[in-house]
Structure 1
Amino acid sequence: MVLRKRLIPVAQRRTMEELTTDLDLRAGDRPSAYSAFWTMLVLSSVIAAAGVVSDSTATVIGAMVIAPLSTPIMGLALGLVKRSGNGAGWFVLGGVCVVVTVGLLTSLAVPDSYDLLSNGQISGRTSPGLADLFAAMAAGLAGAIALARRDMAAVLPGVAIALSLVPPLVVVGVCLGDGAFVLALGALVLFLSNLVSLVFAGTFVFTVLGYTERPVADRARTRSIAAFGGLGVLLAVVLALSTALHYRVASWKDQVGRRAAEWLTAAPGATVIGVRLESTTFWIDVRAPGDLPPVADLRARLRGAVPDGFPVVVEVTRGRRIDVGRVGS
């Protein structure tokens, strides 16, 4: 009771009827609610697709603010607390299909030679980690508390941006259309982690605030919560492995860069511009005015720094310095 009063003062507490009106698309005027949901979902998907393809952060943020997917997802949480079906799951599933389809159609405009990972909007959503899960959980808690209070509606756009529900699904569609199935799976994991975090956070907050209508245990609700819990644990394991892999790859790239720089000390003026890992191949970008030291020396230096069997390629940019002199002299 003390926690409930601290989170939601009595004067600001919304009623169950108010929450149901906002989160249950089947409550009240159904045709109007359905029309608003699907129209905004399609438009936000198109905006997100345009932002992803053009690598425009501002455009993608606009799609996040408009996206209505958080409504049925929070409706799932409310349905679990009330132990009453509200059809929210079908709206979520249908919404996912619509957004992924928009992404698939958008992929038709992407050239076959286009490197998806060169696009920050795509690369940033195809390799999620534990930090994304923690951020989604915190955003879900903020969103659930804001929904339960009458004085915190201004928080909801920020929650929508933090959760990022539509852009990852657009990326799933774009990557599927381009045949990049591993990247598509990464973006799908990001979406699922956001979805599960939002449902967990909503269920927790609504239960703590006493929105449970019937205190008697219900097997169906228990099974549903257990299913979401199992999915959450699985996603946490996947994200933990992904995070560990990120750190490992960063360590490999750092070692390759340092040892390549040591190798180049025998070539005056040569420098390492960068190191990148594409698939299982390490690419070392080098700028050098002349010939490079023997490659065998680099191979020996890299032994033990990279996994056995990983190819290493040195890409050289040739150039020479020209002293133009003082302008006007």
Structure 2
Amino acid sequence: MEESKVPKKNKNNFIRFLLNLINRFDLQEGKEDELETIEDIKKNVEFKGANLWILIFAIFVASIGLNVNSTAVVIGAMLISPLMGPIMGIGLAAGINDFELLKRSLRSLGTAVFIAILTSTIYFYFTPLDDAQSELLARTEPTIWDVLIALFGGLAGIIAGSRKEKSNAIPGVAIATALMPPLCTAGYGLATLNLYYFIGAFYLFCINSVFISLSTYLIVRFMKFPKKEFMDHKKEKRVQTYITIFTIITIVPSIYLAYGIVVRSIWEEQAKTFLSQEMVFPATQVLSSNINYSTTEKSIMVNLIGEPISKESIDIIKEKAMNFGLTDTEIVINQNNSGITDINILRSDILKDLYERNEKLIQDKDEKIAFLENEVAAYGTVRFLGNDIAKEAKINHPKIRKFSLNRSLITNLEKNSIDTLLIAYAEFSGKPTNEEKDKLNNWLKIRTKSDTIGFIIN
């Protein structure tokens, strides 16, 4: 009898443990009244007055943070951004069949997006720092992780918003889902006429917005928020139909896009693994590699340097690509068949790659080189003519005993710039008159074809 009681007691303890564990996940505990939560979300939907100005200032702060590559500044901007309001309002409206709230939320979100992109475009158009930093580039290519962050972040945000005791979860969601940086990056794309940056960043913002709204919609339906009732049942059905159509139009493309991002991310990881494991040779190195994924074409291009790889080995490598899931992927391996690297071709490829990546840097260097060449030529000309000019100066001004002419670098401390100036040194046997000084100055300008000459008279 005692042996049968022990298992029964353990079974009861296990059931109590499970019930206790399930109760801990109960969302009803600590929940605020649904109507209060709905009103709180509705208050943050509108973009007027202070909310609009806060958004503009936050966009400026985020744009500066992206411009100077400061993560802390970008995080600060996301904390003060009010963008979460209308996005959660869209999910709430879809969940409670409130068509008027849905229209208000969409109108407010459209206004906010337009103002945000316009503000960031103006900033990036006038900023002197026009290089795309890593913080900015990170917002141009959405990945599956961005989808997951937006989904789980949105779930955390609506659950936190439905509590009696408000927490810092919603500002945390705004930081995690990064709603503002993509809009600033889209503005950078417009300001620099870079369509690739604009589309990638705006696409990321759309993904974040859709999945935050979807999360809100799911929690609102799960927690059975009271739906809006209509006196006219025909109107109620019509509103429900509109919201259902809108929800489907919103969710289906986002799921399709998310699926595309998942497939692309998996393929890219497989391609990188393939390169790291299979492109390893004892006397040959990978000079460069490029992976390209699109819905119509997938390819991996590898440039090798060193001893050539046999055709049989290359065929084996291409067959192994199937083991990495790289089906329908074109593998292109470029190498020198003679076994000796063609230095001229290699140099041309490297220079071309450097030029494409750093076109502005090369242009600046060319301008500096041209400037220095002109300075060297001018210095040589002055040095060559210095003795002849000194003799001519002696003829025109018999009192001159010593004469020197040279170019000198002048640093402008106010403008932080460096320029060159023609310096003339003249030593007279007696004190020259002002008229004699002016005559010598004007003659030297004509003789040396210089607009300005620095004079040292002794």
Alignment TM-score > 0.5, same fold: yes
Q: How does 1:97-112 map to 2 (within 5 A)?
A: 97-109=114-126
1:50 maps onto 2:64 in alignment: yes
1:8 maps onto 2:28 in alignment: yes
Sequence identity, in percent? Answer: 21
Give the C-alpha shift of residue 212 in structure 1.
Answer: 3.1
1:235 maps onto 2:261 in alignment: no
Give the C-alpha shift of residue 162 in structure 1.
Answer: 0.9
Instruction: Name the CA shift for 1:142/1:26 in 2 (closer, same or farther; >3 Å).
Output: closer
Q: Which residue is 1:191 aligned to?
A: 205
Q: Is the 8 A contact 1:129 1:243 kept in 2?
A: yes
Amino acid at match of 1:63: A
Q: Is the 8 A contact 2:139 2:200 kept in 1?
A: yes
**TM-score, normalized by length of structure 2?**
0.54
Q: How does 1:264-303 map to 2 (within 5 A)?
A: 277=290, 297=307
Q: Which structure would you say has the larger RCO, counting Cα contacts within 8 Å and 6 or more residues apart?
A: 1
Q: Deviations over 1:31-89 (max 9, x none)?
A: xx722321111111111100111111111111111111111110111111222212010
Amino acid at match of 1:96: V
What secondary structure does 1:64 align onto? helix
| CA distance in 1 between partners of 2:107 and 2:130 (Å) | 37
| CA distance in 2 between partners of 1:96 and 1:238 (Å) | 25
Amino acid at match of 1:166: M
| CA distance in 1 between partners of 2:23 and 2:242 (Å) | 28
Q: How does 1:26-37 map to 2 (within 5 A)?
A: 34-37=48-51
1:66 maps onto 2:80 in alignment: yes
Instruction: Name the CA shift for 1:250/1:109 in 2 (closer, same or farther; >3 Å).
Output: farther
Name the structure with the higher strand share.
Answer: 2
1:223 maps onto 2:245 in alignment: yes
Deviates more, 1:222-231 or 1:41-50: 222-231
1:177 maps onto 2:191 in alignment: yes
Give the C-alpha shift of residue 164 in structure 1.
Answer: 0.8
Instruction: Name the CA shift for 1:254/1:20 in 2 (closer, same or farther; >3 Å).
Output: same
Q: Deviations over 1:158-212 (max 9, x none)?
A: 1111111111111111023223212322212211111111111101111111213
Q: Which residue is 2:171 aligned to?
A: 157
| CA distance in 2 between partners of 1:199 and 1:123 (Å) | 25
Amino acid at match of 1:157: P
| CA distance in 1 between partners of 2:76 and 2:289 (Å) | 31
Deviates more, 1:172-181 or 1:41-50: 172-181
| CA distance in 2 between partners of 1:184 and 1:252 (Å) | 31
Amino acid at match of 1:200: L
What secondary structure does 1:160 align onto? helix
Q: Is the 8 A contact 1:128 1:242 kept in 2?
A: no
What secondary structure does 1:108 align onto? helix
What secondary structure does 2:95 align onto? helix
Give the C-alpha shift of residue 121 in structure 1.
Answer: 1.0
What is the RMSD of the two structures over their aligned residues, measured on CA atoms? Answer: 3.8
| CA distance in 2 between partners of 1:13 and 1:169 (Å) | 34
What is the number of equivalent residue pairs in this alignment?
Answer: 288
Q: Is the 8 A contact 2:302 2:332 kept in 1?
A: no
1:95 maps onto 2:141 in alignment: no
What secondary structure does 1:153 align onto? coil
Q: Which residue is 1:323 aligned to?
A: none
Give the C-alpha shift of residue 258 in structure 1.
Answer: 4.2
What secondary structure does 1:125 align onto? coil
Amino acid at match of 1:263: T
Q: Which residue is 1:320 aligned to?
A: none
| CA distance in 1 between partners of 2:259 and 2:128 (Å) | 35
Instruction: Name the CA shift for 1:45/1:113 in 2 (closer, same or farther; >3 Å).
Output: closer
Instruction: Name the CA shift for 1:277/1:16 in 2 (closer, same or farther; >3 Å).
Output: same
Q: Is the 8 A contact 2:70 2:135 kept in 1?
A: yes
Q: Which residue is 1:212 aligned to?
A: 226
Amino acid at match of 2:185: V
| CA distance in 2 between partners of 1:245 and 1:174 (Å) | 29
| CA distance in 2 between partners of 1:52 and 1:251 (Å) | 31
Q: Is the 8 A contact 2:119 2:187 kept in 1?
A: yes
Q: Which residue is 1:263 aligned to?
A: 284
The gaps in structure 2 that reach 5 residues or longer are 1-21, 230-235, 293-298, 319-329, 336-345, 354-458
What is the aligned counterpart of 2:142 among 122, 128, 133? Answer: 128
| CA distance in 1 between partners of 2:305 and 2:228 (Å) | 73
Deviates more, 1:303-312 or 1:14-23: 303-312
